[in-house]
Amino acid sequence: MSEVIAVLFMVLVLPLAIVMHYMTKWKATKGLSADDEKMLEDLWNNAERMQSRINSLETILDSQVPEWRKRV
């Protein structure tokens, strides 16, 4: 009888408890962490600065070497 109870526990209760545990963990970590948000903000700022530099370089090239776009 105790073997049947042990098998039922391992087959029914234990897997359900494991699934519920990881579902709770997944819901808790659903969003970005503070470090991830900071890194994303830094990447965004770097991309904006790089875009500004590229625009400046293109403006300089347009004025000094008007045919540069055709060479590429």
Span 12-37, average pLDDT? 87
Who wins on pLDDT, 71 or 18? Answer: 18
CA angle 52, 53, 54 (to 5 degrees): 90
Q: What is the CB neighbour count within 10 angstroms for residue 61?
A: 13
Q: What is the distance between the alpha carbons of residues 72 and 68, in angstroms, rounded to a whole number?
A: 7
- Fill in the DSSP letter of residue 66: T
Three-class DSSP category at 30? coil
Q: What is the distance between the alpha carbons of residues 18 and 23, in angstroms, rounded to a whole number?
A: 9
Domain-wise residue ranges, the chain: 1-30, 32-72
Who wins on pLDDT, 70 or 44? Answer: 44
What is the structure's pLDDT at 18? Answer: 92
pLDDT at 55 over 90: yes
